[in-house]
Copies of this chain bind each other. A is one copy, B any other.
Amino acid sequence: MTAAVELLKTRRLYLLLRDRIVTGAVGPGSRLPSEPALAQEHGVSRVTVRRALDLLAEEGLVRRRVGSGTFVEDPPASRPIVADFSNVLSNLIEMGRATAVKLLSFAYVAPPASIAEPLGLEPGERVQRSVRVRLIDGQPFSYLTTHVPERIGLTYSERDLATIPLLELMERSGIVAERATQSISATLVGPETAAALDLAPGSPVISLTRVVYEPSGRGVEHLHALYRPDRYAFQMDFVRTDVAGARRWTPTVVQASRTASSPRPSRPKRTASQKGTRP
């Protein structure tokens, strides 16, 4: 009755090996078992093993040497963009990198309850729904779906949205963003979103949901964002302090750094002159 959709064996083995590599179970430089050995060990044919290894090699996780074996590569040290906890992209600006926004969709619609409820909307109140993709150095890294109450959305134009950060638009219109709550999770991209992010469908992405409130307690923005994990990561630093007699972690402002995999202790920063851009 239930289909269950077994995962392709190639993909399955790929994920398994990839897992062992990224978690450090097999260290860089070490040799993987031979293809026939892997085939027997996992009950698949050598052809399938090869396909899985092909994928790993494409990603630069392993290197194959004819006659010798397949070896784990040193981490390619790809450096995702790092955002601090407040998700401010001022880091990027400081680094002088070019960000651009592409507006994919813009309309006023009746919101589903899952949007209307956290925004505290009256029944029947409409929202502005917009979908944007943000690029850095010409490459997409985030897919943003925002819902804004109609009364607020009307204070700026579609053209504004394609060029100016949403929160900045709202603050220009006199709307005061006072409080926000956000949660970070993970999900898979569908084919449409994948295409917009230049990803393969089914790739994992970071998922962020944020609601911004004005002082009255009413919601002014509902954001659902997806981030490419290879180009973006959330980084946060903490210090252990005594608060009311108890040891607690308190967050500190993270410094801009090009590396995420091996985050180094902070460095003296250059002063920010430009205003921050938000997703």
The interface of chain A, by Cβ under 8 A from chain B, is 1-3, 5, 7-8, 10-12, 14-20, 22-24, 27-28, 50-51, 54-55, 58, 74-75, 80, 82, 85-88, 110-115, 117-118, 129, 145, 147, 171, 176-193, 200-202, 204-207, 209, 211, 213, 217, 224, 227, 229, 233-240, 247-251, 254, 260-265
A129 proximity list for chain B (CB < 8 A): 24
Partner of A240, one of B22, B178, B239: B178
Closest CB in chain B relative to A179 CB, distance in Å: 5
**Chain B residues within an 8 Å CB radius of A88:** 248-249
Query: 6 closest A-B pairs (Cβ-Cβ)?
Result: A19-B190, A27-B112, A186-B186, A86-B249, A3-B51, A183-B235
Given A10-B5, A15-B202, verify A112-B24 contact (CB < 8 Å).
yes
Which residues from B are CB-within-8-Å of A110?
A: 27
A51 surroundings in chain B (CB, below 8 A):
3, 5
**Beyond the given A15-B190, A74-B114, A185-B229, could you list 12 further A-B residue pairs with CB under 8 A, ordered by the A residue number?**
A3-B10, A5-B51, A12-B202, A15-B188, A20-B190, A23-B224, A87-B249, A88-B248, A178-B239, A181-B238, A183-B235, A183-B261
**CA separation between A222 and B229, bound complex, in Å?**
20
Taking a contact as CB atoms under 8 Å apart, the answer to whether B184 and A234 are in contact is yes
User: Which residue, of A18, A19, A118, A247, has the highest number of chain B Cβ atoms within 10 A?
Assistant: A19
Chain B residues whose CB sits within 8 angstroms of the CB of A204 once the complex forms? 186-188, 204-205
Contact partner, A113, options B27, B80, B118, Cβ 8 Å: B27
